[in-house]
Amino acid sequence: MKSLLTAKELATALSLSVDTVWRYTRQERIPAVDLGGKQYRYDKEAVLAALTARDRAASKESTIYSSDSGYTYEDYLKIPDQPGYRFEVLEGTLVREPSPTTRHQRICRELALALISYFDAVDPDGEVFFAPLDVTLTAVNVLQPDILYVSGARQGIVLEDHIDGPCDLVVEIMSPTNRRKDRLQKMSIYGKAGIPHYWLVDPEEDTLEAFVLKGGTYALAVAVDPEQEFAHPDFPGLALNLRKVFHMSK
């Protein structure tokens, strides 16, 4: 008989917060076995299949180009501009996606302003950047994080036209077209590159998940919504008004 997981075990296996698992369960977005008394168990593969089907249905606008030999940064530089789209190279695969929505950009702006204010105070030599800006991690990994922070100690990676190497913090704001890519593929690439902090912002759920790299794997350190206080041990004093970030009325 297939072993079923608790909500906490499923959250750990899929790099989700337990609150997200419960929310998906209530909304019937993932299959669950109801044991009664608000007790549920989950088949990891069935849950993955449900989430994958949802992502595929939402990502019809995304176009993925691939090459047998694999794309490199040099190939990437030869791509002609296409208004309304942006490109990345993920493990040698060239990915084209639609430009962000206005809500995405508003969230990005508010979060970037908060981070700029914080890092100006605690690390005046550090810098916060936001897309579009290329980050080259390897010859076959060229990404455009929504927001990134390079500490003063790593300023050597800041070149004139791109960031060449792992920064200190990457923030990705998910959309219906890139949820699986951000949560799985990009998380793996950023982890292999040694980026210590990876944050995922979910405009559909109004949540922010902050992951910390431990032993080569990202572990969830903080998961908050606009009704909760953001308190991260590695960023003392960083106060994020998530109601403002997500443009929610008071």
Both 177 and 117 in one domain: the answer is yes
- What does the pLDDT read at residue 80? 85
- What does the pLDDT read at residue 248? 66
Both 213 and 150 in one domain: the answer is yes
Both 211 and 124 in one domain: the answer is yes
Both 123 and 40 in one domain: the answer is no
Q: What whole-number percentage of the chain has pLDDT above 90?
A: 46
Per-residue pLDDT tens over the stretch 126-180: 999 999 999 999 999 999 999 999 999 999 999 999 999 999 999 999 887 777 7
For CA atoms 56, 62, 67, 72, give the dihedral sign. negative
Q: Determine, yes or no, domain membership for 134.
A: yes
Both 150 and 211 in one domain: the answer is yes
CATH code at position 212 = 3.90.1570.10
3 state SS for 49-117: HHHHHHHHHHCCCCEEECCCCCCCHHHHHCCCCCCCEEEEEECCEEEEEECCCHHHHHHHHHHHHHHHH
Q: Determine, yes or no, domain membership for 152.
A: yes
Q: Determine, yes or no, domain membership for 16.
A: yes
- Judged by average pLDDT, the poorest of 36-50, 67-81, 163-177 is 67-81
- Judged by average pLDDT, the poorest of 76-90, 110-124, 203-217 is 76-90
- What does the pLDDT read at residue 50? 82
Q: How many angstroms separate the CA atoms of 103 and 6, rounded?
A: 34
Summarize the confidence of residues 177-200 as an average pLDDT: 90
Q: Determine, yes or no, domain membership for 180.
A: yes
Both 44 and 156 in one domain: the answer is no
Closest by CA position to 18, among listed 223, 171, 227: 223
Both 118 and 229 in one domain: the answer is yes
pLDDT over threshold 90, residue 193: yes
- Give the count of domains, the chain: 2
Both 214 and 153 in one domain: the answer is yes
Both 41 and 117 in one domain: the answer is no
Both 161 and 41 in one domain: the answer is no
Place of tokens 């998530």: 242
Boundaries of domain holding 159: 100-245
171 or 29: which leads in pLDDT: 171
Place of tokens 């990705």: 172
Domain finish residue from 58, 74, 89: 58
- Judged by average pLDDT, the poorest of 18-22, 138-142, 169-173, 197-201 is 18-22
Both 133 and 25 in one domain: the answer is no
Pairing of strands 163-164, 217-224: unpaired
Q: Determine, yes or no, domain membership for 95.
A: no
- What does the pLDDT read at residue 57? 53
- What does the pLDDT read at residue 48? 83
pLDDT over threshold 80, residue 45: yes
Q: Determine, yes or no, domain membership for 124.
A: yes
For CA atoms 88, 148, 189, 219, give the dihedral sign. negative
Both 160 and 41 in one domain: the answer is no
